Structure 1
Amino acid sequence: MASEAVNRNFIEQVKESRKKIRDCFKRSHEALQLRESILLSRIDEIEEDYNDKTQEMNSLVEALNKEMAQATVTLSANKLAEAHKQISSIIENKITELTADTDSSIKFEWNNQFETDIGQLGSIMLNGQTNIPPTRTFPPQVKPVVPDYKVKLLPTAYCCKRSDNKAPGELNVPRGIAVHYQTGNIYITDRDNNRVQVFSSNRDYLFMFSEKMNKPVGICISQNKVFVTQVQGHCVNMYELEGKLIRSVGGEGNGEVQFYHPQGLDTSDRNSNVYVCDRDNYRVQILTEKLKFNSMLGIGLFNNPRDVKVTRDRVLVLDGSDPCMFVFNSDHVLINRLITRGIGKQTNNPIRFDIDRDYNIIMSDYSDHCVSVFNQEGEQIHKFGKKGQGIGEFYNPFGIVLDNTGHIIVVSDKNTNCLQFF
């Protein structure tokens, strides 16, 4: 009998324990629901309060701006400064007050059991093997606009009188031309005047510079630096955009950072190296951005390297003896050879070139007095100009460049108006 009583007592205790546990969790659940409701309600209040205070702040700023505008009209300079100081102080105090109110209204206390290590929430990582493409495929000198070569290209403007004197804006045997694409300014090497002249995109004369120049011919611009080759000085100069000489390197010879009649040059947007056509040493010298020796290109290949253009993945070198265009990849491995003389005599005496975004090649032909356009396979797709002094005619065209609006700019050696825009 005693054992039966004990069993009944144990069973009753188990039932009571289960009931207490259920009641406890029920009350806890109800309390959590109530807490959730309170917190959500508080969040709504904070959001509404924040919106109200934001509106109040905007109204205050608008009112203060109106007051400041009125003060500008009515107050003297001294009073205006004092009013501006007072108004600024009022704004700062009000912002501090509203910020403090907002900050204090959104503080929450969380039980430690709800804290989560942020590292457990996951992260975003770049795998070391991920191939991230460059932000730009082409350097700044490759233009965003491709001219319409299917239509007849006619000059839109011409300027710069050819003259033997040294008047500003007049040219005597111009050679190289480059455009600074942020400002649109045009830089021209005025060879026999031993200077570089600079014009605006509207063709207005701006200024010139001539420090340490001996027959300047090639020119290129990289961001805020101008690089110029001196054909008689056998050197390369680096200038600020305003014309202040930064550095000059070189001298006649065939060693490293020595040149013999250097011609066109260009800079690499990928590594800031400077590629210089060392014409009568039959090579391209590659210098660092500080004009220190880096390497050589085309030893045993070139006979008359005249101009070079560098993109993210290619280096193009114009050799005038065949004539032909050597195409290298970014590792300086020869991958193609374009525009040979061949059938139809596509080019007679190519002298300078530029490239557009689609790798079309726009080339000046000094002896045929014209401009030819080739696609990247070397096929001639357009040709314009003929010998003459008229508009749209050339007499020994030399430097050529595309500006950032897609205009082709050509500077001619012996034209009455040396500079023409197409």
Structure 2
Amino acid sequence: MATANTLERIFSVDYKSKIQPIVNVCNWGRGLEDLNSPQGVTIDNSTGDIYVADCDNNCVKVFDCNGQILFEFGDEEGEGKMNRPNRLAICRDRILITDHCCILNYQVNGKFTSRIGKPGKGELEFYDPLGLTFDESNGEVYICDYNNHRIQILSKALTYKTQFGRGNLRFPLDVRLTKEFIYILDRSNPCLHLYNYNLILHKSIISNRDVLQLNGFRFFYIDNSNNILITNYSDTSSGSISIFNSQFDLIHKIPIAYPTGITVDNRGRVIVVCQGYKHFLTF
């Protein structure tokens, strides 16, 4: 559990001071210490360990807070087999991973627990699930069902609860929760949707010259001050991290090649994985 001093540092992160990475971890490859097309990244706040979805190596790599490899996991056969894992989220001792048309449920020590869902358009069926997050207050799980154009909500027991977004969402990429709103990054316009907890659309922030200014966005993260960190790259742009305040004003941009998953740890460090160079960086 974070201490009061740690939480104070999280609330007062000086993003404008973050220009160059302080740690550069991993190279391309198939070995234990290598990454190949890394995607999502998340933190186990109880230990500080960093979990990375190593997409093309079909596993999850676990590093300590200093970037030293600890172990990897991902069954090669059976129900726990990973097939291009993409996003991941941790709640207590459980880690959920979006995979090909299903959700994989593992313990944080790498032990497989269960497989949730199958291909399709119905309840507990998925068509390219991507971003997911936990509601820590009740253990519910919000999942971006990308090509079904919706968000599915699962109970703490990982049973189907409800869904929302059809008609408003086109291609939801990533989802985050704050006390007031459900934030969803949608590839279609592009835009950022805000829903309330009655699952009613509150507003949509559409990317343009003055607001958000997104180009090829991938992942996002919201810190405890409701600052929004978004990774961007496209065929015409090598990439950046764009950081907005809670009023959606751009406060800082960090040039970085091909960033994908992003998070902030309990020390106020920005951790981002990079697809092009197959590594992750700490700012």
Same structural fold, with TM-score higher than 0.5 when normalized by the shorter chain: yes
> How far apart are the structure 2 equivalents of 1:307 and 1:344?
19
The answer as to whether partners of 1:217 and 1:229 remain within 8 angstroms in 2 is yes
**Structure 2 match to 1:320:** 187
The answer as to whether partners of 1:409 and 1:420 remain within 8 angstroms in 2 is yes
> What letter matches 1:372 in structure 2?
S
1:362-411 per-position Cα deviation (integer Å, ceiling 9, x unaligned): 010022310001112222111111xxxxxxx31x2101111111111110
> What letter matches 1:397 in structure 2?
P
- Residues 1:183 and 2:23 aligned together: no
**Structure 2 match to 1:204:** 68
Equivalent residues in 2 for 1:342-361, closer than 5 Å:
342-343=209-210, 346-361=213-228
**Structure 2 match to 1:420:** 281
**Structure 1 match to 2:177:** 310
Report the aligned-residue RMSD: 1.7
Larger-Rg structure? 1
**Structure 1 match to 2:249:** 379
The answer as to whether partners of 2:103 and 2:115 remain within 8 angstroms in 1 is yes
> What letter matches 1:191 in structure 2?
C
> How far apart are the structure 1 equivalents of 2:169 and 2:116?
23
**Structure 2 match to 1:275:** 142
TM-score of the aligned structures, taking structure 2 as reference length: 0.90
**Structure 1 match to 2:260:** 398
Q: Which has the higher contact order (CA 8 A, sep 6+)?
A: 2
Identity of aligned residues (%): 35
**Structure 1 match to 2:78:** none
Segments of 5+ residues of structure 2 without an aligned counterpart are 1-8, 76-80
**Aligned length in residues:** 268
**Structure 2 match to 1:23:** none
The answer as to whether partners of 2:130 and 2:173 remain within 8 angstroms in 1 is yes
The answer as to whether partners of 1:270 and 1:312 remain within 8 angstroms in 2 is no
Equivalent residues in 2 for 1:7-86, closer than 5 Å:
none
TM-score of the aligned structures, taking structure 1 as reference length: 0.61
> How far apart are the structure 1 equivalents of 2:137 and 2:17?
34
User: Given the superposition, is the C-alpha separation of residues 145 and 301 from structure 1 closer, same or farther in structure 2, using an over 3 Å criterion?
Assistant: same
> How far apart are the structure 2 equivalents of 1:205 and 1:146?
29
> How far apart are the structure 1 equivalents of 2:154 and 2:233?
28
Equivalent residues in 2 for 1:133-144, closer than 5 Å:
144=10
* Residue 237 (structure 1) shift: 1.1
Aligned counterpart for 1:227 among listed residues 85, 96, 108: 96
Q: Which has the higher helix share?
A: 1
* Residue 312 (structure 1) shift: 3.0
> How far apart are the structure 2 equivalents of 1:312 and 1:334?
15
**Structure 2 match to 1:159:** 25
The answer as to whether partners of 1:269 and 1:311 remain within 8 angstroms in 2 is no
The answer as to whether partners of 2:205 and 2:211 remain within 8 angstroms in 1 is no
Segments of 5+ residues of structure 1 without an aligned counterpart are 1-142, 386-392
